[in-house]
Structure 1
């Protein structure tokens, strides 16, 4: 029986013949090479970098032979975040974070590039000769010599683009193009308009009124006529929402129809390379004809003038004549939503300065020619003549944030869509040579979310096996520490705070194994010098040497005589009763101006038995912090005490050095919040320098947190030691210091690109989400702004608001000390109140 149906099979119409060696061969003997394209992340590219990428594309396109098609295809698909709740080792806060972002919508982006070699005849074909309109497709034979030359030019193209350092091309394999038994290839995905694996192809309904693929209705906007284009194009534009009068945020010219268009769509960009000389000769002939007919119509004279300007540009600047076309193919399965999408696409095209042209009649042929491998089927009448340089301006040049491949890291949030991003700011940058250490410098004014971010960062490092030692001056980490203490039943989460009734006490002369290496001796010597000398006093070489000798003699004596109690009292008595006598009996006398031992003993008398600070260095209960993974020292009560604050801080630092020295292969993190002020005296300069330079060798990292710009500007120790040895810099909202940011920029060694990113923080936050943004810069070469958005449970754990902390503690006390349950209930009440 004769088939009277208007439908036909995809197999009979498919213009593709085979896929071999990563090349797609069409039945008309066209050959296509497919690449996956990696672009730089959104909001991280400067104007100069956009121009560099543009120049690379232009240079690469010029190596392709005549009658080639460059087809860049960007897929933007609406997806939802799928939480990793199946992991067994998720903590209470980790699980709450994942649940908070469950089904959070975002726009996924994939970019492909197809380079096609076809013939002169195929390049001139119009839509009425599309393979869609032909009843039968007879395969043609490939020209071997043409294929060899084309593949050589493709390799050159790939090398030029990859050498930019901004864009990466990866050749697609046969399986990625046609798929396997278990996965779909790119052709199959395109025919279903899906980035996921396709079980079966859907019906395709082609008509002049509407085009459907399954339930998906398509709408198509085209840029195929010079009358629809803006008067001027550029590589990039200023993005006003994140720019200030002192900084620029740049996005590519075509970004409005890229990630800034929040719907399912494919953005196709074509550059068709004809014979340049033949094109110009045809234009010369057309110009003469127009001139001869100019008396009959003014439009002929105007057209002649436009053609002359085109020819003058081509000859004056050696520009290559090409044809260009762009289209935005969007879809939805809901007619009402499709109308909204159509308006959105038109609006975004208008922001580019283009005339939105909704095209229904040519939708089937343009969809068909955008099929991977079928670029030669592009209808010639849908393109306009231009040069390579302006044509490349229509390429999108950025993608959304990428997660680190490293298993270690922290979860931050994409600032545009709110999707969680896995970020490694410690190990991966070192492996890639971006940084040389793991140290971090965090700067944020009061109220910018500095402590909140540090809580988030610290919690995730702890849960991944790190040892954390925190010096806090404001109870910022009490909630997190107490939660850890409750969950580990007191084995971890140790919180020390200074009170008159229960002051912090240490014993720097005690070690579990009785071993005092060079580092341990140096740290005790530095402590003694800090106790002895004021900030303005200079330590001479003789004083440092004598104190070092005295300490070595005491430690040797202590090793031999087990009855000596290791503490400061014993050392003080040794200095008073033995070392002073030994000095007096030397053949070469030590003068008072070289080493005044009486002054030393008098100054340190207050730390000896009976003195006002005798508790500080003579702890009877030696604190074993070596195996405690989360320890917080809250020393706000003594932050203004010039006698105690430096001593307590340096002893805590010494405890960290003990961890650093003895815990092999375990990450150690020391976080000083404002406590570095006590360490930035002249006496402590060498200690700080040693600490920041050495910690990386022991798989450790030092993190300094501060809020006062004046402090970091006025302290040469901070500048030379902390900042120069912190390859990771983290800044929060700096708009409070906008008028003096040039000073901060110079101090931190920030580039203009990094300055623009920092000043864009919190400028265009989504009002429907609660978050604050943070800038993270690595080694001066890689930087971006991320959002710190957390679940309700994390919020009540990290909060520094006094009323909220008191409410959590009150509820926990009512629940028998169950802090986790109290946090859960508070978070649930907050969610219910928001709804």
Structure 2
């Protein structure tokens, strides 16, 4: 019976012969070198950087020999986020975050570059000579000399592009091209139109009306004629949605058919290099013919004029004549969706100023020639003549946000698609030399979400074994602290706050292990001197020495006599009874003007049993903060108290410095949230100055969070210390300060590029998602805007809205103090 299907196998038609040493050899003796291209991240490139990348592409293309094909292929594939729920160490909030983003759709982007060397005859072939139309392909021999010269030019091409610092080319290996037993290669993936590691080849239907690969129906738009092109092209365009009258957000000229086209598609960009001199000679001849025929038709005269202009440009500016072709190959397995995609592609091409041309007839041959390694099969009639510079403007120049390679970091969200990304803003930047310290400065006006973001940050740092100490005003971290306290059964999540019924209380004389090293002794001595002397009083060497000796004697006695309760009361009684008596018996007398012990005891009487502040230094809970990983000091109610507040701040600093010195190889973090009154005192400012400069040596980081830049300017020590020693700057929505942002820019040393990114925050948020954006800058060289989007459970834990916080607290009370259960219950409701 006669076969009416006219079906054939892929093996008989496959134009590729072999893949060796990272090169694809075709049966027509064409050689192709394949690269994976790493592009800069979206919304992080300036106009000057786009110009530099464009210039590099043009220089690189010029080094290639005649009859080469440059084929840049960008894959944009719709995927869904797969949550990491299989991990054993996921916390309750981590798990809720992963569930929240489960199956979140996003566009994955991969970029490849194929450089092909072919022959003059092959370069002129039209679609009727495609390997698809041949019955049998007979392999031809390679020209060894041609290969050597071509590979040299490819190495030069690679070096020029990689030297830009913006784009990275990486050779694809043989296994990446043809695959292994476990994973599919790029050629196989292309034939299946999928980026999955394991693919299954499906039937290919090359119908003139519509091409199919399995269930996928293809839709092709081409730019293959000068009539389809815009009146002018550029390296980049202003992206209005994220631009203001004071700032510019730039995207590449081809971005509308790149990441901004949210569907499955491949964007193919071809530059075909012929013999430049031969091309110009051919145009000269055509121009003469047109001139001869101009009497018979006005169009001939016009065409002659256009050819003359092309030739004048080529000779005047030394431009290289090339052929170019652009196509967008989109697909879907749903006919209705394909119709929408067809309109979307046409619309995006129209925004570029192009004439959308839906091509059905040439779809099979263009699909076939876009196969990795088969670029020489490109049909010549589908290209138009231009120069390298305008042709390279059609290259896409940006990609999605990339996750950090470091295992440590936080989860943020891609601002365009809403896909979670892993971001390391502490360790990886230091390893790469982008930053020299881990300190952070967070600035955001009221309501911008800075406390919410800081909650998100410290929660994830805590769950990665960081010791965190917070100084807060406004109960912003109460929910998170309660959750940690319940989860760890009180081991962590210590919340210090001042109320009349339960005043804030410490015990600087207590440690879990009974160790009092030099730093601990010095910090207690500094505390005692602060309690005794006013800010204007000078501390003499004798006073400092005597107090140090008294403290050492007391600690030695306490070490021997276990009946002594370590607290300020015991130390006061020791000074009053034993040390004063010991001073009286010395052969060399101590005069009052040198060390007035009576004045010391009188001044500190108010902190002793029965005094006004006897609760402050005599805590009976005996909590050693050294081993508590999450500690919050809520100082809102005492920040105006001139007697209590300086003492509390010194105890807080002492607690962190003790951690800093004694916890070897463990990450530590101190966060000062809106506690600016503390910074106004000389003692606190000096503490901060010391800490910001030395914390990096102890695997630590200091973080300052504020609403107003003026708060920093008001303290010159802090201004210099914090800004100069914080390589990571985090800013939230600054549009309230848009008219005076120049002052903020100057103070923080921000570039115009960083200013544009910051002023674009929250300008084009997706109304279907609840999130706020945040700008993160590292070392003045790397910066981007990310979204802080969280699950319902995380939101209820971080929220600073009073009604929502009260609801969680009341529900927790009903459930026996279980904050986690309360959050789950409310989230489910």
TM-score by length of 1: 0.94
- The question of whether the paired residues in 2 share the 8 Å contact of 1:712 and 1:719 is answered with yes
For residues 278-297 of structure 1, the aligned pairs below 5 Å read 278-297=278-297
Are 1:45 and 2:51 matched, yes or no?
A: no
**How far apart are residue 210 of structure 1 and its match?**
1.1
Report the CA distance between 1:334 and its aligned residue: 1.1
Name the residue aligned to 1:422: 422
- Going from structure 1 to structure 2, the CA distance change for 1:295 and 1:91 (only over 3 Å counts) comes to same
- The separation in 1 between residues aligned to 2:391 and 2:534, in whole angstroms, is 69
Shift of 1:135: 1.6
The verdict on how the C-alpha distance between 1:48 and 1:573 changes in structure 2, with shifts beyond 3 A counting, is: farther
Cα RMSD of the aligned pairs, angstroms, is 2.5
Match of residue 124 from structure 2: 124
What corresponds to 2:647 in structure 1? 647
Find the counterpart in structure 1 of residue 552 from structure 2. 556
* Contact 1:192/1:198 (<8 A) preserved: no
TM superposition shift of 1:298: 1.9
1:28-71 deviations in Å (ceiling 9; x for gaps) = 10000001111111111111111111111111111111111000
CA distance in 2, matches of 1:704, 1:308: 65
In structure 2, list runs of 5 or more residues that go unmatched.
Answer: none
What corresponds to 1:366 in structure 2? 366
- Partner residue in 2 for 1:480: 480
Aligned residue for 2:506?
506
Report the counterpart of residue 81 of structure 2 in structure 1: 81
CA shift, 1:93, in A, is: 1.1
> Is residue 523–residue 687 contact of structure 1 (8 Å, CA) maintained in 2?
no
Change (3 A) 1:295 1:614: same
1:763 matched to which residue of 2? 763
Q: Deviations over 1:500-531 (max 9, x none)?
A: 22222223344445554443344345445554
Larger CA deviation: 490-499 vs 676-685: 676-685
1:675 deviation in Å?
2.1
The residue that corresponds to 2:742 in the other structure is 742
What residue in structure 1 maps to residue 496 of structure 2? 496
**2:515 equivalent to 1:519:** no
The answer to whether the Cα contact below 8 Å between 1:650 and 1:679 also exists between their aligned partners in 2 is no
- Indicate the residue corresponding to 1:200 in structure 2: 200
Task: Give the Cα separation in 1 of the matches to 2:646 and 2:748.
Answer: 26
Match of 1:354 in 2: 354
Which residue does the alignment assign to 2:797?
A: 797
Distance 1:557 1:533 in 2: 22
State the match for 1:217 in structure 2: 217
1:373-522 aligned within 5 A: 373-513=373-513, 515-522=515-522
Label 1:52 to 1:586 Cα distance change in 2 as closer, same or farther (>3 A). farther
Q: CA shift at 1:605, angstroms?
A: 5.4
Instruction: Report deviation, 1:161.
Output: 1.1
Q: Is the 8 A contact 1:323 1:386 kept in 2?
A: yes
Match of 1:832 in 2: none
Which has the higher mean CA deviation after the structures are superposed, 189-198 or 25-34? 189-198
Q: Residue in 1 aligned with 2:719? A: 719
Bigger mean CA offset, 321-330 vs 295-304: 295-304
Shift of 1:687: 1.6
Give the distance between the partners of 2:512 and 2:485, measured in 1 at CA.
24
Please list the CA deviations of residues 62-111 of structure 1 after superposition, one character each: whole Å capped at 9, or x if unmatched.
11111110000000000111111111111111111111111010000111
Q: CA, structure 1 residues 687+813, in 2 after alignment: closer, same or farther (shift >3 Å)?
A: closer
Give SS of 1:701's match.
Answer: strand
Q: Are 1:745 and 1:755, in contact at CA under 8 Å, matched by a contact in 2?
A: yes
Q: Using the TM superposition, name which of 410-419 and 569-578 deviates more.
A: 569-578
Return the TM-score normalized by structure 2. 0.95
CA spacing shift, 1:10–1:669, aligned 2, 3 Å: same
In the alignment, is the contact (CA less than 8 A) between 2:222 and 2:359 conserved in 1? Answer: yes
SS at match of 1:453: helix
Q: CA deviation at 1:613?
A: 2.5
Once the two structures are TM-superposed, the CA of residue 4 in structure 1 deviates from its matched residue by: 4.8
Distance 2:580 2:415 in 1: 64
In the alignment, the residues of structure 1 paired with residue 272 and residue 587 of structure 2 have an alpha-carbon distance, to the nearest angstrom, of 93
Take 2:397 and 2:412, find their aligned partners in 1: how far apart are those partners?
23
**Distance in 2 between residues matched to 1:295 and 1:559, nearest whole Å:** 112
Match of 2:408, SS state, is coil
1:443-495 superposed Cα distances (whole Å, 9 cap, x missing partner):
11111111111111111111121222222211111111111222222232222
Greater CA drift, 287-296 or 158-167: 287-296
CA offset digits 1:753-784 (Å, max 9, x no partner): 11111111111111011111111111111111
Instruction: Return 379-388 or 614-623, whichever deviates more.
Output: 614-623
Shift of 1:177: 0.5
User: 1:745, 1:451 → 2: CA distance?
Assistant: 22
Could you give the per-residue CA deviations for residues 595-632 of structure 1, whole angstroms, max 9, x where no partner exists?
99998777655445554223323445432122222222
Between stretches 567-576 and 109-118, larger displacement belongs to 567-576
Alignment of structure 1 residues 566-585 onto 2, 5 Å: 567-568=567-568
SS in 2 for 1:650: helix
SS in 2 for 1:132: helix
287-296 vs 100-109, greater mean Cα deviation: 287-296
Asked if structure 1 preserves the Cα contact closer than 8 Å seen for 2:568 and 2:617, the reply is yes
- SS of the residue corresponding to residue 685 of structure 1 reads helix
Q: Relative to structure 2, which stretch is displaced further, 451-460 or 524-533?
A: 524-533
Quick check: 2:69–2:115 contact (8 Å CA) kept in 1?
yes
1:716 CA displacement: 1.4
Task: Report the secondary structure of 1:626's partner residue.
Answer: helix
**1:144 positional shift:** 0.2
Offset, 1:813: 2.3
**Taking structure 1 as reference, are residues 297 and 530 closer, same or farther at Cα in structure 2, changes over 3 Å only?**
farther
Contact 1:646 1:679 in 2 (8 A): no
CA distance in 2 between partners of 1:544 and 1:760 (Å) = 55
Contact 1:27-1:139 within 8 A present in 2 as well: yes
Residue 580 to residue 245, structure 1, CA distance change in 2 (3 Å): farther
Compared CA separation, residues 756 and 131, structure 1 to 2 (3 A): same
Could you tell me how far 1:290 is from its partner in structure 2?
A: 2.0
More moved, 142-151 vs 703-712: 703-712
After superposition, residues 614-763 of structure 1 pair within 5 angstroms as 614-763=614-763
- Label 1:50 to 1:587 Cα distance change in 2 as closer, same or farther (>3 A): farther
Q: Is the 8 A contact 1:680 1:717 kept in 2?
A: no
SS at match of 1:76: strand
Contact 1:526/1:684 (8 A) holds in 2: no
Q: Which moved more, 1:633-642 or 1:354-363?
A: 633-642
Q: How far apart, CA to CA, are the structure 2 residues paired with 1:510 and 1:544?
A: 27
Compared CA separation, residues 178 and 756, structure 1 to 2 (3 A): same
The CA distance in 2 between the partners of 1:197 and 1:514, in whole Å, is 58
Cα pair 2:580 2:597 within 8 Å, conserved: no
Gaps of 5+ in 1: 830-835
What is the number of residues matched between the two proteins?
A: 824
1:182 aligns with 2:178: no
Conservation of the 8 A alpha-carbon contact between 1:719 and 1:747: no
Query: Match of 1:242?
Result: 242
How many Å apart are 1:411 and its aligned residue? 0.8
Match of 2:97 in 1: 97
Q: Is the 8 A contact 2:676 2:711 kept in 1?
A: no
* 1:589/1:654 CA distance change after superposition, 3 Å: closer
Deviates more, 1:793-802 or 1:580-589: 580-589
Q: Is the 8 A contact 1:36 1:113 kept in 2?
A: yes
CA distance in 2, matches of 1:772, 1:389: 40
Inter-partner Cα distance in structure 2 for 1:399 and 1:699:
33
Distance 1:223 1:807 in 2: 59
Match of 1:314, SS state, is helix
SS class of match (1:37): strand
Task: Give SS of 1:561's match.
Answer: helix
CA distance in structure 2 between the aligned counterparts of 1:565 and 1:292, rounded to whole angstroms: 113
